Structure 1
Amino acid sequence: MDFEHNKANIIDSIKQAEEAGATIRFGSELEIPGYGCEDYFLEMDTINHSWEVLAEIIEEGWTDNIICDIGVPVYHKSFLYNCRAIVYKRRIHLLRPKTSLNNERGKYENRYFTEWTDLEELVDFDLPEEIKAVTNQEQVKLGVAILNFLDCKMIHEVGTEFQDNQRLANFMKKNSYQKNLDGEEDRINIVLNSTCTFHSLGRLQDKIDKILEHSSSFGAAYVVSNQIGCDGSQLICDGGSMIVSNGKVIAKGSHFNLKTCEGVISPIDLDEISNSQKSTEHNVLNDRDLFINKVEIPLYVCKSSSRGVPFYENINRTLSLPEEISLSCAHWLWNFLIRSEAKGFLLPLSGGLDSACVCTICFSLCRLIFQDISDDENSPTLNSLRRVIRDDSFVPTSPQEICEEILSCYYLGTENSSSRTYQRAFELSQEIGCKFDKCKIDGLYDSSLGIFTDLFQRHPRYLCQGGTEEEDLALQNIQARVRKIFASFIAESNSFDRNDEGYLQILSTTNVDEALTGNITKYDNSSGTLNPIGGLNKDDLRKFLEYAKEEFGLDSLQSILDANPTPELRPSDDIEKDSTQIDEQDLGLTYSQLNVLGRLRTVERCGPVSMFSKLTEVWFDLSPSEIAQKVKIFFTLYSKNRHKAFSLAPSLCISQYEVDIKYDYRQSLYNDEWSFQFKRIDQMVDELDKEDLV
Structure 2
Amino acid sequence: MGHLTTLATCSLNQWALDFTGNKERIIESIKLAKEAGASLRIGPELEVTGYGLLDHYNKEILLIRPKLSLANDGNYREMRYFSPWKGERIVENFYLPRSITKIIGQKTCRIGDALISTRDSCLGTETCEELFTPKAPGIGAGLDGCEIFCNSSGSHHELRKLNTRIELIREATLKSGGIYLYSNQQGCDGDRLYYDGSAMIVVNGQVVAQGSQFSLKDVEVVTATVDIEDVRSYRSAKSRALQATKQEAYERIEVEYSLSSDAEDVELLLKPSVPLEFKYHSPEEEIAYGPACWLWDYLRRSRQAGFFIPLSGGIDSCATSVIVHSMCRLVYKDVVAGENKQVLKDLLTIVGEPSTSEWRPSSPQEIAERLFHSAYMGMSKNSSADTRSRAKELAKEIGSYHLDFDIDSVYNAIVGLFTVVTTFTPRFKTSGGTPATNLALQNIQARSRMVLAYLFAQLLPTVRGRNSNNPENQNPGGLLVLGSANVDEALRGYFTKYDASSADINPIGGISKTDLKRFILWAATEFEMPLLQSFIDAPPTAELEPITDTYTQSDEVDMGMSYAELSIYGNLRKREKLGPYGMWSKLIHVWGDKLSPQQVYEKVRWFFWCYGINRHKMTTLTPSYHAEQYSPDDNRFDLRPFLYPGWDWAWRKIEKSISNMGEKGTKVPGAVEGDVKKTV
Whole-Å Cα distance in 1 between the matches of residues 139 and 221 of structure 2? 31
**Alignment partners' CA distance in 1, 2:272 and 2:332:** 24
* In structure 1, distance between residues paired with 2:19 and 2:551: 53
Q: Indicate the residue corresponding to 2:554 in structure 1.
A: 582
Counterpart for residue 315 of structure 2: 353
Which residues of 2 match residues 547-558 of structure 1 at below 5 A? 547-558=522-533
Cα distance change, pair 348–689 in 1 and its aligned pair in 2 (3 A): farther
* Most deviating of 90-99 and 280-289: 280-289
TM-score normalised by the chain length of structure 2: 0.89
Q: 1:165 to 1:595 in 2, by over 3 A?
A: closer
Is 2:547 aligned against 1:572? yes
SS in 2 for 1:250: strand
CA drift at 1:282: 2.2
2:24 corresponds in structure 1 to 8
Alignment correspondent of 2:333 = 371
* CA distance, structure 2, for counterparts of residue 614 and residue 461 of structure 1: 42
SS in 2 for 1:265: strand
Pick closer, same or farther for the CA change 1:306–1:405 going to 2, 3 Å.
farther
- Residue from 507, 529, 535 that aligns with 2:504: 529
Question: Does 2:264 match 1:300?
Answer: no
The equivalent of 2:81 in structure 1 is 112
Q: Which residue in 2 is equivalent to 1:381?
A: 343
Q: Secondary structure at the match of 2:240?
A: coil
Q: Which amino acid counterpart does residue 245 of structure 1 have in structure 2? A: V
- Taking the aligned partners of 2:522 and 2:374, their CA distance within structure 1 comes to 22
Q: Is the 8 A contact 1:512 1:535 kept in 2?
A: yes
Task: Measure, in 2, the Cα distance between the counterparts of 1:651 and 1:143.
Answer: 37
Contact 1:510 1:534 in 2 (8 A): yes
Pair 1:570–1:549, CA change in 2 (3 A):
same
For residues 288 and 579 of structure 1, do their structure 2 counterparts lie closer, same or farther at Cα, with a shift above 3 Å needed?
farther
1:447 alignment partner in structure 2: 413
Give the counterpart letter for 2:249 in structure 1: F
Asked if the contact 2:206–2:275 (Cα under 8 Å) also holds between the matched residues in 1, the reply is no
| Residue matched to 2:362 | 397
Query: How far is 1:283 from its partner?
Result: 7.4
In 1, distance between residues paired with 2:425 and 2:652?
A: 41
Tell me the residue number matched to 1:224: 182
Identity %: 38
Per-residue deviation, 1:18: 1.1
Query: Gapped runs of 5+ residues in structure 1?
Result: 34-49, 51-70, 73-83, 176-186
Indicate conservation of the 8 Å contact 2:68/2:86, yes or no: yes
Partner of 1:623: 596
What is aligned with 2:39?
Answer: 23
Deviates more, 1:614-623 or 1:463-472: 614-623
Whether the 8 Å CA contact 1:173–1:217 is kept in 2: the answer is no
SS at match of 1:599: helix
CA–CA distance in 2 between the matches of 1:627 and 1:460? Answer: 36
Partner of 1:510: 485
Question: Structure 1 residue 681: deviation in Å?
Answer: 2.4
Residue equivalent to 1:666: 640
State the distance in 1 between where 2:22 and 2:426 align: 57
Matched, 1:257 2:215: yes
**Count of aligned positions:** 632
2:92 match: 123
Contact (CA 8 Å) 1:326, 1:544: kept in 2 or not? Answer: yes
In the alignment, which residue of structure 1 is the partner of 2:285?
A: 323
Distance of 1:560 and 1:121 partners within structure 2:
60
Change (3 A) 1:426 1:307: farther
1:299 Cα shift? 1.4
- Determine if contact 1:351/1:422 at 8 Å carries over to the other structure: yes
Alpha-carbon displacement from aligned partner over 1:137-177 (angstroms, at most 9, x marks no partner): 122221222211122221111124355374845423422xx
Letter in 2 for 1:659: P
Following superposition of structure 1 onto structure 2, how do residues 65-214 of structure 1 map, counting pairs within 5 Å?
Answer: 71=51, 86-161=55-130, 164=133, 166=135, 168-175=137-144, 187-214=145-172
Q: How high is the TM-score relative to the length of structure 1?
A: 0.87
Residues 305 and 400 (structure 1), Cα distance of their counterparts in 2 relative to 1, 3 Å cut: farther
Q: Distance in 2 between matches of 1:496 and 1:165?
A: 56
- What amino acid sits opposite 2:514 in the alignment? D
- Alignment partner, residue 519 of structure 1: 494
- Cα 1:637–1:13 change in 2 (3 A) is same
The one-letter amino acid paired with 2:558 is D
Aligned to 2:400: 434
User: Quick one: distance in 2 between partners of 1:306 and 1:427?
Assistant: 61
- The SS at the match of 2:75 is coil
Q: Distance in 2 between matches of 1:312 and 1:350?
A: 50
**Retained in 2: the 8 A contact 1:23–1:301?**
yes
CA contact (8 A) 2:125 2:138 kept: no
**Structure-to-structure mapping, 1:467-486, within 5 angstroms:** 467-486=433-452
CA distance in 2, matches of 1:666, 1:120: 37
Among 571, 576, 579, the residue aligned to 1:607: 579
For residue 343 of structure 1, the aligned residue among 287, 305, 309 is 305
- SS of match in other structure, 2:151: strand
Residue 543 of structure 1, CA deviation: 1.0
Instruction: Give the drift of 1:545.
Output: 0.8
Task: State the 1:314 CA deviation.
Answer: 7.6
- Per-residue CA deviation, residues 463-506 of structure 1 (Å, 9 max, x unaligned), is 11011111110000000000111111001112332112110000
Between 1 and 2, higher relative CO (CA 8 Å, sep ≥ 6) is seen in 2
Deviation track 1:208-251 (CA, whole Å, cap 9, x = no partner) reads 01111111223111111111112122122111010011211000
User: What residue identity is the alignment partner of 1:545?
Assistant: I
**TM superposition shift of 1:285:** 6.3
**Residue 678 (structure 2) aligns with:** none
Stretches of structure 2 that go unaligned for 5 or more consecutive residues are: 1-16, 467-475, 668-672, 674-680
Change (3 A) 1:493 1:372: same
* 2-structure distance, mates of 1:454, 1:333: 44
| SS, match of residue 249 in structure 1 | strand
Q: Which residue of 1 aligns with 2:622?
A: 649
Assess if the C-alpha contact under 8 Å between 1:400 and 1:433 holds in 2: yes
CA-to-aligned-CA distance 1:432-471 (integer Å, 9 cap, x gap):
1111111111111111111111101222111110111111
Partner residue in 2 for 1:59: none
Q: CA RMSD of the aligned region, Å?
A: 2.3
Distance 1:346 1:170, change over 3 A: closer
Tell me which amino acid in the other structure corresponds to 2:456: I
For residue 64 of structure 2, what is the amino acid of its counterpart?
L
When residues 464 and 308 of structure 1 are mapped into structure 2, their CA distance, relative to the original with a 3 A threshold, is farther
**Partner residue in 2 for 1:57:** none
